[in-house]
Amino acid sequence: MSTKSADSGRVHDAPSNNWVYRVLPRPLWPYAQLARWDRPIGWQLLMWPCFWSAGLAANAAASLGTFAFGPFVFHLILFFIGSVAMRGAGCTYNDIIDHDIDMAVARTRSRPLPSGRVSRRQAKIFMVLQALVGLVVLLQFNTFSILLGVFSLVFVAIYPFAKRFTDWPQFFLGLAFSWGALMGWAAQFGEISAAAAILYAAAIAWTVGYDTIYAYQDKEDDELIGVRSTARRFGERPRPWLLALYGLTVVLLFVSFAAAGAGLLAYAALLVAAVLLFYQILVLDIHDAAQCLALFRFNNLVGLILFAGLIASLLVRLV
């Protein structure tokens, strides 16, 4: 199966009809795969905490009479570009670190590095180029946001190694992937408030939850090669853990919205998002890898609904 994927120039765990294979010339496919452009769910999940934070800050700024539409839209564009670039750089870095592990896991064996379609040197150069794009984006923000963004690299650097020393690598992913929950607020106000810090904690709990579901795809391979994860830690009984994680997510989001003075429509969206989160727990079959992947991707809708609620709340306040 992995050999067939490698021969076709595609990877086993990504859609074969993605735009990457229709638009890009074949020599660029391995780089698109390193950056996961053929799997947008990663940058989407990285982007939503940024957008939530920007939306929450916009609600707070509107209540103070300091909201400006132009900078808000510009920040959203920057967060989108930065999410794509830094997710790509992070995935490339992760693949370089996990080269040997990926060769031992069926789902990842067809990726560009273990399949030999790019060299480690080529991957490192590509990683740097993507990071430079992220740097250009970061430099568009205020000084506090720039320093805050640079500090996030500590968690980005640690994450690929976490699976080697803890059963909770998803927590370290959450620390890195949820950083945008601080950035949106910092971009608006040049500081961090309690609302932003609580939003960050909520995003971490959300990330641990959805990435645990994702990790059940690899649980058997991880056990064979000694890679640790929350999926292995929770074993055959993930539901109580997921209930706690997603429940904590909802409670913390509620508190964050209240601290920032978000409007009623933000809470309505939170209620819908809560239903979608607990739906995942209800239907989860940890022995069905395809369903685990589908439920993981389902969280993009959760992120979108929460952001839409914050925007609706903002618009009501501005009218």
Instruction: Choose among 251, 301, 314: nearest CA to 273.
Output: 301
Which segments of 98-193 does DSSP mark as H helices, in order?
A: 99-104, 120-138, 143-151, 153-162, 169-177, 180-189
Cβ atoms of 98 and 114 within 8 Å: the answer is no
Question: Which pLDDT score is estimated for 179?
Answer: 97
**Which residues, other chains included, contact 141 with Cβ-Cβ below 8 Å and sequence gap of 6+?**
75, 78, 149, 183, 186, 187
Return the pLDDT at 45.
97
Spatial distance between the Cα atoms of 125 and 106, rounded to a whole number of angstroms: 26
Check: CB of residue 21 under 8 Å from CB of residue 39. Answer: no
pLDDT of 15 reads: 61
Low-confidence residues of the chain, pLDDT below 50? 1-6
CATH pick for 2-318 out of 1.10.357.140, 3.40.50.11540, 3.90.245.10, 1.10.3720.10: 1.10.357.140
Question: Given this model, what pLDDT does residue 16 score?
Answer: 64
Euclidean distance between CA atoms 16 and 21, whole angstroms: 7
Look up residue 129 and give its two tokens: 């180029």
Q: How many CA atoms lie within 13 A of 46 on its CB side?
A: 25
Which pTM does this prediction carry? Answer: 0.92
Q: What is the pLDDT of residues 102-144, one digit of tens each?
A: 777 777 788 888 888 999 999 999 999 999 999 999 999 999 9
